[in-house]
Structure 1
Amino acid sequence: MAQNSDFHDDSALLDIHDKPSPLAWAGLSLQHMFSMFGSTVIVPLLVGLSPSIALFSSGIGTLLHIMITQRKIPAYMGSSFAFITPMMALMKTTGYPGIAQGVIGVGLVYLLVAGIIWAVGADWVDKLLPPIVVGPIVMVIGLSLAGSAATDAMMKNNHYDLTYFLIALATLGLAIFFNMAFKGLIGLIPILLGIVGGYLISIACGIVDLHAIAVAPWFKLPPFEVPGLSYPFKIDWGAIITITPIAFVTMTEHMGHIMVLDELTHRNFFKDPGLNRTLAGDGVASLVAGLIGGPAVTSYGENIGVMAITKVHSVYVLMGAAVFAMLFAFVNKLNVLIMQMPLPVIGGISFLLFGTIATSGIQVMIDHHVDLGKKRNLMIASTTLVIGVGNAYLQLGSFQFTGLALATIIAIILNLIMPQEAASEK
């Protein structure tokens, strides 16, 4: 695997530092933007945040990540699904100020870990977060959201609605169809196409407020939420503790993406520019997102998939996608259109999205040959799943560790303190 920064991958149509022609540049960048669009805007929709700020956050976060990694890694930063559960809980109690502190906390945790790795190396990360910890936690992230998806898909004003559920199933069916039946660009954006199809069905069923979309101005400044300006800044340790532990889980996702990019580009990004820089890029991206009103961000597998198929690995294409995302954030009519998205469409697409998250946790354990026949592994996985999915929480005064955060902490502790073999296995 090449490690020299001067290496050029001739098997790629455009390697990392190659610039496309202006017209091709625009087309390739728009393709990347549409690939991440559906997932990036569905997160704020589920939580109750502004899609336009999420788009802006993803764009500026991507540019910052590319800058911090010295333009050596073609990665796109989009809204992270891992933090949906705690963000939804905090939205009901503290509103965005609490979420902001948690997201900023995530960024600071990333920067802290990046600093430690810079000082002492990265071997300790694997010991803290082995597959038996990461797999069940990723499963919890998906499964803990299953109830929310079902409610969105079935319930209208707290009552079961058959039309809603049929729209949800149609949305799900379309996303699966586009994913399975097409390749090329259409095969890369099945989530977005499923959402569009479900939206059009909802309009036909008369459950979309078209007037609100028609009267909305075309362009408008996104409703940025800046601490100290948009709302009084007051440290909320409960909110911070609710969200920040999950950063350790998304770090493993980040490292997985780096591994895939290593193989794709025939380089070793763990050595050049180094894991400390890649984590710092993620951390700064989330830090900035929290300071302007967006959700935490993470590197996107969707865009890695685009690169794998197109063999275009240029960081300039990713930078172009980031600029397009930031520009789209100012198209207010698009923001209103997204905000009017019917709940059954969100619920239907969430069946697939949240299920995919859960099954990716299973895949982590399969890929690393985790043996659940071993009592140690069984104890860690079982405890983590039930605490997390059941949303068992620990209340300490005003501090509350919600199910996902608590499950993450307990999984890490159990992994560190339990012996490799039970007495009966020796």
Structure 2
Amino acid sequence: MALGTRWIEYLLPPVVTGAIVMTIGLNLAPVAVSSVKDSSFDAAMALVTILCVGLAAVLTRGMLQRLLILTGLVASYAIYALVTNGLGWGAPIDFSAIGAADWLGVPAFTAPSFSPHAIVLIAPVAIILVAENLGHIKAVGAMTGRDLDPYIGRAFVGDGLATVVSGASGGTGVTTYAENIGVMAVTRVYSTLIFVAAAGFAILLGFSPRFGALIQTIPGPVLAGTSIVVFGLIAVAGARIWIQNGVDLGDNVNLIVAAVTLVLGAGNFSIDFGGFTLDGIGTATFGAIILHLVLRRGAGRWQDVAG
């Protein structure tokens, strides 16, 4: 917040941020696809879910269209229940856990403990969260057509405070969620007030084990189909950054940076540092930044020599 955003613009030009955002969606894609690849029935139901979300996007209007992910999920949930619990195809939904769960309950909280070894292993995760947060902000900026760079400092502070609160109660480091960005892309609802209200409801529902049990009944294929749509929207948001900023992929520097970043992320190229692993999103993010700096500087020097 004190230094401004010029350094971010230098380190993360549109070709880099677009590649990072696209990488997030491509890196998450195997998670959704792998959960249904071993069952033809599950794969078919995932495709039905995708169709339900797509139909909700183009055939509904008003509130239903703005809630198209939820609309498609509810419709596919009902179809899944009909063909499994009703017709006996596939694994039926078990509703017994809902009745056995209490309406109200307190989550399990854990007081923090401090271990130098654990701190050394976990603290670098914050760097990855910063990179993910930055990519998410760029994605939202591309979708809304607004320059959100002046708010990056606030976003980092918010991430830091949220991680402190989470760690103080036994949770993990937290960051912005790419899945929500995908929902924003398809609904075109960008109001921050909506997310404040959603956070309030999420906190309240967190004290209801019965609601948690209801969520647990959502079939895996339905979640997989929804995830495929959402993760795909994230990848498209990265391409939108390139298009809106006129990124020239005929420039070899841009071409190599984009190509390498996408493969590192989509292939989940990981690097181990002792007990710490930098996964595909992390390696793609840092790889894109470093590769762009090296190639751009090298190209500049070559032009100077040639001139």
- TM (normalized to structure 1)? 0.60
CA shift in 2, pair 1:174/1:162, >3 Å: same
- 1:188-232 CA-to-partner distances (Å, cap 9, x unmatched) read 11111222222223333132111112211111113345533xx98
| Corresponding residue for residue 19 of structure 1 | none
- What is the percent sequence identity of the aligned residues? 30
- 1:410 maps to amino acid: G
CA shift, 1:123, in A, is 1.0
CA shift, 1:172, in A, is 1.2
Q: What pairs up with 1:145-164 in 2 under 5 angstroms? A: 145-155=28-38, 161-164=39-42
| Mapped partners of 2:295, 2:108: distance in 1 | 48
Q: What pairs up with 1:168-179 in 2 under 5 angstroms? A: 168-179=46-57
Q: Among residues 212, 216, 223, which one is paired with 2:97 in the alignment?
A: 212
Aligned residues: 291
CA shift in 2, pair 1:171/1:303, >3 Å: closer
CA shift in 2, pair 1:303/1:131, >3 Å: closer
CA shift, 1:252, in A, is 4.1
Q: What pairs up with 1:232-311 in 2 under 5 angstroms? A: 235-241=118-124, 244-254=127-137, 257=140, 275-292=152-169, 293=171, 296-298=174-176, 301=181
- 2:55 maps to amino acid: F
CA shift, 1:394, in A, is 2.1
Contact 2:22 2:262 in 1 (8 A): yes
| Corresponding residue for residue 388 of structure 1 | 265
CA shift in 2, pair 1:366/1:237, >3 Å: farther
CA shift, 1:333, in A, is 0.9
Contact 1:289 1:297 in 2 (8 A): no
Q: Secondary structure at the match of 1:391?
A: coil
| Mapped partners of 1:320, 1:411: distance in 2 | 36
| Corresponding residue for residue 203 of structure 2 | 326
Q: Secondary structure at the match of 2:250?
A: coil
CA shift in 2, pair 1:289/1:178, >3 Å: farther
Q: Among residues 221, 241, 244, which one is paired with 2:106 in the alignment?
A: 221
CA shift, 1:239, in A, is 4.4
Contact 2:66 2:189 in 1 (8 A): no
CA shift in 2, pair 1:357/1:237, >3 Å: farther
- 1:168 maps to amino acid: A
CA shift, 1:168, in A, is 1.0
Give the alignment's Cα RMSD to 1 decimal: 3.3
CA shift, 1:297, in A, is 3.7
Q: What pairs up with 1:277-426 in 2 under 5 angstroms? A: 277-292=154-169, 293=171, 296-298=174-176, 301=181, 319-419=196-296, 421=299, 423=302
| Corresponding residue for residue 197 of structure 1 | 75
Contact 1:152 1:346 in 2 (8 A): no
CA shift, 1:336, in A, is 1.0
- 1:329 maps to amino acid: G
| Mapped partners of 1:307, 1:149: distance in 2 | 24
Contact 1:153 1:344 in 2 (8 A): yes
| Mapped partners of 1:372, 1:220: distance in 2 | 54
Q: Among residues 135, 138, 152, which one is paired with 2:18 in the alignment?
A: 135
- TM (normalized to structure 2)? 0.80
CA shift in 2, pair 1:286/1:180, >3 Å: farther
CA shift, 1:380, in A, is 0.9
Contact 1:246 1:404 in 2 (8 A): no
Contact 2:66 2:188 in 1 (8 A): yes
Q: Structure 2: where are the runs of 5+ without partners?
A: 86-91
Contact 1:153 1:348 in 2 (8 A): no
CA shift in 2, pair 1:402/1:325, >3 Å: closer
Contact 2:105 2:208 in 1 (8 A): yes
